[in-house]
Amino acid sequence: MLEVRDLSASYGAVKALDGVSFDAADGQITAVLGANGAGKTTLLRTLSGLVRPTAGSARLGSTDLLRTPVEEMTRTGLAHVPEGRGVITELTVEENLRLGALGAPSGGERRFDVDRVTELFPVLGQRRHQVADTLSGGERQMLVIGRALLAEPRILLLDEPSLGLAPRVVAQIFALLRDLVSSTGLSVLLVEQNARSALGIADVGIVLNLGRLVVQQAADTLVDDDQLRHAYLGF
Amino acid sequence: MPALRPRLGSSPLLRHLLVALVGGAVALAVLTAVDDFRAGQLAAMAYLGIAAAGLTVLTGLNGQLSLGHGAFMAIGAYTAALFLGDVEPAAPLAVVLLAATAVASLVGLVVGLAAARLHGPYLAGATLALAVAVPGLAIYFGDTLGGEQGLSVRVPEPPAWFADLLFFLTAVDPSRGRFVAYLSWFVLIVVLVLLANLSQSRVGRTWRAVRDHEVAAELAGISLTRARVVAFVVSAATAGLAGALMAMVVRLTAPSGFTLTLSLTLLTAVVLGGLGSLAGALIGAALLTFLPQVVTGIGSDLGLDDVQSAELAPLVYGVVMILVILLAPAGLVGTLQGWRLRRRAAAGPAAPAVPATARPSDPTRPSDPTRPSDPTHPTHPTHPTDKAGRA
Amino acid sequence: MQQLLTTTLTGLVLGAVYAAFALALVMIWRSTRVVNFAQAPMAMLTTYIALVIIEAGHSFWLGFVAALLAGLVLGAVVERVLVRPVEGKGDLNAVILTLGLFIVLHSVAALVFGSRYRSFPAPFGVRGIEVGGTTVALTGFGIFTILAVVVVMGLLVLLFRFTDVGLRMRASAHSPEVARLLGVRVGRMLTLGWALAAVVGSLAGLLIAGGGLVHPGYMDAVVVYGFVAAVLGGLDSPGGAVAGGVLLGLCLSFVSGYLGSELVAMAALLILVAVLLVKPSGLFATTAHRRV
């Protein structure tokens, strides 16, 4: 369980996050929605330690995330796939995956290995020895998700996985994500502009506006709330 | 004085000329009062100051780094040496100095055309290669340029009118060495005034724009290449002029005088004083001239032999250079000004505006103590505060 | 014919050394975007350490290994103490910093070891090998030079391709933020990268010194040649640096043999400028243009 309380962060004088509190339960997909500049990416970057918070707390189980250095995050069970995918294009597909596995917590059971990931994403298996620079957008998204899974996370932070992808590819990746969560008990914090698709697979949605949490509700309730949808989600 | 200031402040040229006049009078008095040894040292300070001023205009105003200005000094020095060799009658001084400047400008034009397309470490590497390569030419063309031994330089006789004038002013007849010292300081002051005006003119603003906002400058119709090349030529010309004076002061022009160390030393002067500040370049040159003696003395006191003591000076420059970059990248002048401006700002809104606090002789003072646009300034406002750094 | 062969062989040996030195520059450039001009005096200093050990009566090889280890430590310390604070703070500061270090190491060496020329021993013959009655310019030490460089490059390839540490180092160099998110201690990897690069640089220093003379400035020109070789290869590519090193070694050897050794540095400058103006991404690059 991820517990976020009164989390605030700022870029200089601009408050990017302003007292955000929510819980993300295990085994659930929590969609983080809102317009550009609402603070979604900042939320993820603060949780994974790339941005220093100005106030508040964030715990993952018994771990105080805000006291954990970035490079320790994967070992506490948090994997962050940054915006713009974060494929290391100079490395091969396999090397990217190996790198993910190197970050897994020591000990503990391994649910994923490179073979399992290439089973989930067969195209990665075919391109295993290619340099990642040669992958398409959708393949890159699969690679970074697969790489994050190899770190054996308890919670996966995904930043805009649908960005620039064809709707068909988005649907494929989202369906896979839903299956993974159901089969492994992984929890996912899914930041999306594409609110309709995200709510389609999410259990819970939270909406940010100008750095504040507007609402946290079950995903289907959110979809039905016309007023909220029009005001913040744009569909 | 307060009444005078706004009027003087309104015209940079007037202000610069006034400062130059005062500086010239002080230099004349000092050069007359000191002994021959000190006069020689001051002459060295003058040519280092000229070269450093040229380099600071290039690096500080235009953002181009040159590790090869020793090469341009060499070009100026060899040109002067060829004029002041055994040929009779010796060419007039003005011709020698202009020729040295012109030849260095020409080479600077060629190098500048290439350099204009290079950035950061590429430019540094290319100019470093220039510094290493040029002395080799003097050896290759040994018949004309004297090879390893170099060319000896005859110091010109002071013109009669100058001797008369000096006698009238100071009641002494100048020796040849003393004359070169006066000449060096005169040239230094002229160069500083020219560069100060240049940097406050439209050209200087263009250079700064190219340094800070390449894209914006280009959109505003500034030719980046032309701005960079012109800056490089001006800088090379200044270095060539300094080289010519160096030849006269040292009375010898040899490859061993233009090692990589000379180029790096110039850079030291510029960094010490603060990139982009002419006053800083002068302070840097003064440190380079007078620090070795002090440090070498300390070395002898510590029981080091002469050769070892002589190495202490570069050690100190190097250490100071590293410390300046790590602790005070704006250099001595920039840091002091920043500190003073901050203090004034803290003193309240009644504090006078920036121009009144800045030294009139320094045309490149930061208009804002934080100088966010300065490429050498460390505190680029990076937005997310990176947590904990890297372990 | 004899001169052609001599010049070529000399060029190959020199090229091997330039390749090693260029590789050291490229390793650092790739990971920290700094051209380490202080690489030359760093290698000079570690060579003096070897010289002191050898002159104290120990074996050449003890001195050799000690110099490489000293390089390892020196590289790590320089990165951690001096370079770390200016990383990502603009080109100018980093370049000036390495030049400051250049000056400091020079004077330290002159203070500690003196500035006179001292001869450095070679473990193998420095006379040409005799083949069928004629003496070829290839010396025993020349062969050792080429072998040593090849072995070190092989080891580096193994390290970067096949070990976890190598993978982490490459990830840190290419995408530091992503690497951190994947649990890589990027700072440590950068320190390690500098340390290894300094070892390779020290090797180049030892190989140049072997059978010749050393003094505080004996590596100064080599940093220029190493830089030119690295730029020939695109500055970002270890393979390109090696190829660039060999090519430059051959070119300069021909300039030296047929035109005069005083022109070597000028030739290097002209080659550098030509490459930067005509093909800035390096002679062997197939991909996009690079801003130089």
Per-residue pLDDT tens over the stretch B12-34: 778 888 888 888 888 877 877 77
Q: Tell me which DSSP letter residue A134 carries.
A: G
Closest Cβ–Cβ partner in C100, C266, C291 for B137: C266
Do the domain assignments include residue C289? no
pLDDT digits (tens, 9 = 90+) for C267-280: 999 999 888 888 87
**pLDDT value at B369 more than 80:** no
- Interface residues on A facing B, Cβ-Cβ cutoff 8 A: 11-12, 45, 49-52, 69-71
HSE at residue A172, side-chain half, CA atoms within 13 A, is 14
How would you class B147 by CB atoms within 10 Å of its CB: exposed for 0-12, middle for 13-18, buried for 19 or more?
Answer: middle
Helix (H, G, I), strand (E, B) or coil at B86: coil
pLDDT digits (tens, 9 = 90+) for B38-54: 888 888 899 999 999 99
CB contacts < 8 A, A to C, total: 63
CATH topology for A2-86+156-233 is: Rossmann fold (3.40.50)
pLDDT averaged over every residue in chain B:
77
Do the domain assignments include residue C17? yes
Helix (H, G, I), strand (E, B) or coil at A205: strand
CA distance linking residue B323 with residue B82, whole number of Å = 41
Q: Tell me which DSSP letter residue B84 carries.
A: T
State residue B362's pLDDT score. 36
CA distance linking residue B41 with residue B286, whole number of Å = 9
pLDDT digits (tens, 9 = 90+) for A117-155: 888 899 999 999 999 999 988 899 999 999 999 999 999
Cβ within 8 Å of residue A231, ≥6 positions away: none
Query: Distance from B380 to chain A by nearest Cα, in Å?
Result: 12
| Better-scored residue on pLDDT, C43 or C284 | C43
CA distance linking residue C21 with residue B208, whole number of Å = 36
Q: CB contact, 8 Å: B258 with chain C? A: no
Task: Give per-residue burial for B71-95: e unless 16+ CB within 10 Å, then b.
Answer: bbbbbbbbbbbbbbeeeeebbebee
Q: CB contact, 8 Å: C18 with chain B? A: no
Nearest to B312 by CA among B174, C251, B145, B303: B303
Q: What is the mean pLDDT of residues B197-206?
A: 84
Token readout for B135 is: 């002395």
Residue of C269, C276, C279, C289 for testing the chain B interface, max B β-carbons within 10 Å: C269
Cβ within 8 Å of residue B164, ≥6 positions away: none
State residue C108's pLDDT score. 92
pTM: 0.83
**pLDDT value at B63 more than 60:** yes
The DSSP bridge partners found for residue A20 are: A7
Cβ contacts of B390 on chain A, cutoff 8 Å: 71
Cβ contacts of A39 on chain B, cutoff 8 Å: none
CA distance linking residue B144 with residue B138, whole number of Å = 8
Helix (H, G, I), strand (E, B) or coil at B362: coil
Cα B179 to Cα B32, B51, B169, B258, C36, distances in angstroms: 10, 20, 14, 24, 44
B181-190, B244-253, C189-198, C264-273 — which one is most confidently predicted on average?
C189-198
C-beta separation of B249 from B180 below 8 A:
yes
Do the domain assignments include residue C140? yes
Token readout for B54 is: 């040229």
Could you tell me how far CA B295 lies from the centroid of its own chain? 22
pLDDT digits (tens, 9 = 90+) for C216-241: 989 988 999 999 999 998 888 888 99
> Comparing A16-20, B189-193, B222-226, C271-275, which segment has the lowest mean pLDDT?
B222-226
B:208-247 residues touching chain A, CB 8 A cutoff? none
Nearest CA in chain B to C36: B121
Contact A52 B381 (CB under 8 A): no
Residue C190: which CATH number? 1.10.3470
Q: Tell me which DSSP letter residue C118 carries.
A: E
Domain range summary for chain A, segments of one domain joined by +: 2-86+156-233
| Residue B173: Cβ within 10 Å count | 12
**pLDDT value at B264 more than 80:** yes
| Residue A214: Cβ within 10 Å count | 16
Helical H segments across A82-204, by residue range: 93-102, 114-120, 122-126, 137-150, 167-184, 195-201
State residue C289's pLDDT score. 45
Q: How many domains does chain C have?
A: 1
CA distance linking residue A234 with residue A193, whole number of Å = 9
C-beta separation of C206 from C42 below 8 A:
no
Task: Give per-residue burial for B199-234: e unless 16+ CB within 10 Å, then b.
Answer: bbeebbebbbbbbeeeeebeeeebebeebbbbbbbb
Instruction: Give residue B390's pLDDT band: very low, low, confident or very high (50, 70, 90).
Output: very low
Do the domain assignments include residue C214? yes
Could you tell me how far CA C264 lies from the centroid of its own chain? 18
Q: Give long-range contacts, CB 8 A cutoff, 24+ apart: C132-141.
A: C134/C2, C136/C5, C136/C6, C136/C9, C137/C5, C137/C6, C137/C7, C137/C9, C137/C10, C138/C9, C138/C13, C139/C13, C139/C211, C141/C210, C141/C211
Residue of B69, B119, B315 for testing the chain C interface, max C β-carbons within 10 Å: B315
State residue B5's pLDDT score. 45
Cβ within 8 Å of residue A163, ≥6 positions away: A83, A84, A193
Could you tell me how far CA C154 lies from the centroid of its own chain? 16
C-beta separation of B118 from C235 below 8 A:
no
State residue B372's pLDDT score. 35
Q: Tell me which DSSP letter residue B60 carries.
A: I
Task: Give per-residue burial for A125-143: e unless 16+ CB within 10 Å, then b.
Answer: eebeeeebeebeebbbbbb
CA angle B364/B366/B372 to nearest 5° reads: 125
Task: State which amino acid sits at residue C242.
Answer: V
Task: State which amino acid sits at residue B179.
Answer: F
Nearest to C230 by CA among C222, C90, B268: C222
Contact A73 C181 (CB under 8 A): yes
Contact B387 A71 (CB under 8 A): no
State residue A113's pLDDT score. 85
CA distance linking residue C214 with residue C203, whole number of Å = 14
Q: CB contact, 8 Å: C221 with chain B? A: yes
Instruction: Give residue B330's pLDDT band: very low, low, confident or very high (50, 70, 90).
Output: low
Q: In which domain, by residue range, is C189 found?
A: 2-278
Do the domain assignments include residue C286? no
Do the domain assignments include residue C180? yes
Q: CB contact, 8 Å: B381 with chain A? A: yes
Cβ contacts of C183 on chain A, cutoff 8 Å: 71-75, 102-103, 151
Contact C90 B267 (CB under 8 A): no
State residue A147's pLDDT score. 93
Is the reported ipTM for this assembly greater than 0.85? yes
CA angle B114/B120/B121 to nearest 5° reads: 90
**pLDDT value at B6 more than 80:** no
C-beta separation of C266 from B133 below 8 A:
yes
Token readout for B301 is: 């006191």
CA distance linking residue B25 with residue B173, whole number of Å = 18
Q: CB contact, 8 Å: A131 with chain C? A: no
Cβ contacts of C110 on chain B, cutoff 8 Å: 307-308, 311
Q: Tell me which DSSP letter residue B353 carries.
A: P
Residue of A7, A17, A45, A52 for testing the chain B interface, max B β-carbons within 10 Å: A52
